[in-house]
Structure 1
Amino acid sequence: MKKALLMSAFFVGAICQEQVMAFCPMVPGAGRVEVQRVIDGDTVRLKDGRNVRLIGINAPELGRKGRAGEPFAEAARRRLQALVMESGGHVGVVAGRERHDRYGRTLAHLYGSDGMNLEARLLAEGLAYQVAVAPNGDLFECQQLAERQARQLRLGLWKRPSVLRADQIGKPGFVLLNGHVSTIRHNRGGLWIELRGSVVLHVAPGRLEQFDALWISGLKGKQVEARGWVVERGGRSVVRQRGERWLLSLSHPGMLQAAR
């Protein structure tokens, strides 16, 4: 029985690896760079001094300044370390369309010596959540497949997925949430999708063309799953709309879907 289970796990892993390889092939001509150290599950420091934030994933946060780390944060960091070591300490680096984030980190896809996308590997093993932030969505479909496999197999983070209800959000940061759409509004500020529980999803005017307007209009009264970074409203940079406490901005349609 034990042998059968081990063989089953082996074949599942092999299938996942083949599919990730097939749908996330390395771009020809990607420059290989030495990795100095792995900072966490989605960030590495290269020997040339660049800090690279991996595109398409958000790994659990490590504990800092006396705060406990999130579940699987250390596992994600160690797995990324192992993948880098398996690649001989060098990785292929493909910069995103948007090359830097607000912290000055390089935004890029990383590939092992076998040509496999490292973000997809982490997603397929349930060690990170998929995220899509425009304009860096070139690998969205293949990375979505990788996460979907982990979710179906209940691997890593998906053993006990922390999908919050809109009324359970208590602090800013990354969330995966499920909510009931109460109102959908358009104005000069873009698209506003209000969820019961003091959360509003926002699509800026410049990103609206990426979203299916007909599909969006049919969401009223339905349950949706959204993911991204929530911020508390009411500051000078955000106009308070009807009292919703939390704002989650969407720049890519992949961050919003009908609830499972």
Structure 2
Amino acid sequence: MTTPHASAAPCEFEPQGEGRVTEVIDARSFRLEDGREIRLAGIEPAFPGKSAAERGRVLAVLLAGRHVRLHSDDDTPDRYGRQTVFAWRLPDEVLIQQELLTQGEALVSPEVNDGECAAALLAAEATARETKRGIWADPTAIKNTESPGGILSGIGRYTLVEGKVLSVRQAGATTYLNFGRNWTRDFAVIIPRRALANLAAAGLVPKSLENKRIRIRGFVEARTGPRIEVLQAGQIELIGEK
């Protein structure tokens, strides 16, 4: 029997059933009594330096032994057989992703294509940032493009970086957002040609970002200097603009 709930809530896509959580695996995944392994959509763990057990502790407090209802815009399992979903705890109807973000225990992933859902998740992240909860208690949680060494310290990690775009250049099939004058040392954003249509659909033209202050989210790479590759519009946020 499906638990009654309000319809049309943010992130409430197609229903994927309900179940009881029997095991929390890590900061964003758990197992149900029927054997399904569930991965939380729309977020990335905020504390990559911790062990899986440490990172999963908050999720265990929220979900261990509790019943959940699941929703997703795609019911196809990932390559590991996991279902990627948005999860509501029952009976209090807490959206787990929103709760983790509000506690500063997660960061919003750019993979959310639904505007209303993305806005709700970003608002929860902003609340934690403003109240300095969880990861946001650290003043260096958002990296500054003027300190490329600090960005490089997070190679391979999902990171938020803020700064002013000094120039936008195209080289072959790649567009670069440059945040410094030294292109081999300073931070830059890489936008491959295949991503331009995604950005354009969201009203983002790379050249229009020149001299704008923006926030970038993504995985840090080292290609001479620190880099983040942008494939989706949700990775770019104009600071101080709606």
TM-score scaled to structure 2, two decimals? 0.74
Give how far 1:103 is off. 4.8
Give how far 1:173 is off. 2.0
Q: Which residue of 2 aligns with 1:180?
A: 164
Residue 248 in 1 paired to residue 228 in 2? yes
Q: Which residue of 1 aligns with 2:50?
A: 69
Q: Is the 8 A contact 2:11 2:117 kept in 1?
A: no
Q: Is the 8 A contact 2:16 2:75 kept in 1?
A: no
Q: Distance in 2 between matches of 1:137 and 1:190?
A: 27
From 126, 133, 149, the equivalent of 2:104 is 126
Q: Is the 8 A contact 2:213 2:238 kept in 1?
A: yes
Q: Deviations over 1:73-108 (max 9, x none)?
A: 83x5222212214xx522111234374445553221
Which runs of at least 4 in structure 1 moved beyond 6 Å after TM superposition? none
From 196, 202, 210, the equivalent of 2:201 is 210
Q: Which has the higher helix share?
A: 1
Letter in 2 for 1:212: G
Identity between Structure 1 and Structure 2 (%): 26
Letter in 2 for 1:32: E
Q: Cα–Cα, structure 1 residues 22 and 150, in superposed 2: closer, same or farther, change >3 Å?
A: farther
Q: Distance in 2 between matches of 1:109 and 1:134?
A: 11
Specify every segment of 5 or more residues in structure 1 that has no aligned partner in the other structure, as ranges. Answer: 1-20, 63-67, 234-243
Q: Cα–Cα, structure 1 residues 92 and 251, in superposed 2: closer, same or farther, change >3 Å?
A: farther
Letter in 1 for 2:204: A
CA-based RMSD of the aligned residues comes to 3.2
Q: Cα–Cα, structure 1 residues 29 and 121, in superposed 2: closer, same or farther, change >3 Å?
A: same
Q: Is the 8 A contact 1:56 1:137 kept in 2?
A: no
Q: Cα–Cα, structure 1 residues 224 and 211, in superposed 2: closer, same or farther, change >3 Å?
A: same
Q: Distance in 1 between matches of 2:196 and 2:208?
A: 19
Q: Is the 8 A contact 1:190 1:205 kept in 2?
A: no
Specify every segment of 5 or more residues in structure 2 that has no aligned partner in the other structure, as ranges. Answer: 1-6, 181-185
Q: Cα–Cα, structure 1 residues 138 and 35, in superposed 2: closer, same or farther, change >3 Å?
A: farther
Q: Secondary structure at the match of 2:167?
A: strand
Q: Which residue of 2 aligns with 1:57?
A: 43
Q: Secondary structure at the match of 1:112?
A: strand
Q: Which residue of 1 aligns with 2:188?
A: 199
Q: Which residue of 2 aligns with 1:163?
A: 142
TM-score scaled to structure 1, two decimals? 0.70
From 212, 216, 219, the equivalent of 1:229 is 219
Q: Deviations over 1:159-181 (max 9, x none)?
A: 22411123122222211112331
Letter in 1 for 2:238: A
